[in-house]
Amino acid sequence: MITLFGFLWYFSSMNNTFKIVMFGVALFLILALGIFGLTKLKVDDFHKAAVIFVVDASASNQANLPAEKMLIRQLCSMLDPEDHIKILRVSEESYLIYEGSPQSSSEVRKAMEKFTQLDSKEFGTAYGLSLKKAFKHALNMSKEGYIPAVVVIGDLENEGAEEKQIDWNELPKEVSNVKNQAENFSMMFLYAKPEKLDLVKEKLSPVLGENKLVIGNEATTSKALRRFLNSIGR
């Protein structure tokens, strides 16, 4: 205590110029130490994501389609401008209807409105074919440095040509193949019936794990979106 009081007395007796110099030196040391400390902080690297949507535009899913399209736009608004999305339309056939930035909300909306209209000439839902295409896109985007994810939105009903449907016994192998080549690969399934979501969980949880497989029904979409963002590192 004597030393501290002695220093304070000595400091108070200094002239003002010397006090300013000492204060400046002390402030510089504090700033320098602070900057040095910040440079030692480990900041997580940002990894851009590629999200491939599989959207059911078949007759059996038309009632849910408006809410599903709104949910896609909501998720796109949560993604980063550096992310990339692709939207695959699935009905009797499956094809790409949009690719680009998730922030191009007007283009995303126009593409979905134009290409998800009901076609009375089509019959069936080629989920199996669409997933194979989605997996190829995921692997290609992984090679370009993106974290890939596939989001399946629809009722998951197998309808139409059998060769275009999901083979539930083969699906785990196909997903495992993607995961082996893209370690951070994740999937989300939304709006299917409970029995279908339960089947997804049974088949794919052993492959992807709880953190990389997200499922949700109409009542739990908000929670599912938060979990999905976590699965791609956000």
| Global model pTM greater than 0.75 | yes
Asked if residue 154 is part of any domain, the answer here is yes
Which residue would you say has higher pLDDT here, 12 or 185? 185
* Per-residue pLDDT, 25: 61
* Per-residue pLDDT, 46: 76
Asked if residue 146 is part of any domain, the answer here is yes
* Per-residue pLDDT, 118: 83
* Per-residue pLDDT, 5: 55
Mean of pLDDT values over 202-214: 97
The answer to whether the CB of 85 falls within 8 A of the CB of 99 is yes
Confidence class for position 43, pLDDT limits 50, 70, 90: very low
Asked if residue 162 is part of any domain, the answer here is yes
What is the average pLDDT value for the chain, to the nearest integer? Answer: 87
Asked if residue 43 is part of any domain, the answer here is no
Flag whether pLDDT at 13 surpasses 70: no
* Per-residue pLDDT, 92: 92
Flag whether pLDDT at 34 surpasses 70: no
Give whole-number Cα distances, 187 to 6, 25, 199, in Å: 68, 56, 14
Residue with tokens 């993607």: 178
Asked if residue 28 is part of any domain, the answer here is no
Confidence class for position 120, pLDDT limits 50, 70, 90: confident
Flag whether pLDDT at 221 surpasses 60: yes
Asked if residue 41 is part of any domain, the answer here is no
Asked if residue 141 is part of any domain, the answer here is yes
| 3-class SS of residue 64 | coil
Q: What is the domain-level CATH number for residue 198?
A: 3.40.50.410
Reported as type and span, the H/E element at residue 150 is strand 147-153
Confidence class for position 41, pLDDT limits 50, 70, 90: very low
* Per-residue pLDDT, 42: 43
Half-sphere exposure of 186 (CA within 13 A, CB side): 23
Mean of pLDDT values over 32-49: 62
Report the C-alpha dihedral over residues 39, 145, 93, 131, rounded to 10 degrees: -80
* Per-residue pLDDT, 37: 56
Confidence class for position 123, pLDDT limits 50, 70, 90: confident
pLDDT tens for each residue of 137-189: 999 999 999 999 999 999 998 888 889 999 999 999 999 999 999 989 999 99
Q: Which domain holds residue 153?
A: 49-231
100: tokens are: 């680009």
Asked if residue 200 is part of any domain, the answer here is yes
Flag whether pLDDT at 103 surpasses 50: yes
For the chain, the distance separating the N- and C-terminal CA atoms, rounded to the nearest angstrom, is 51
Number of separate domains in the chain: 1
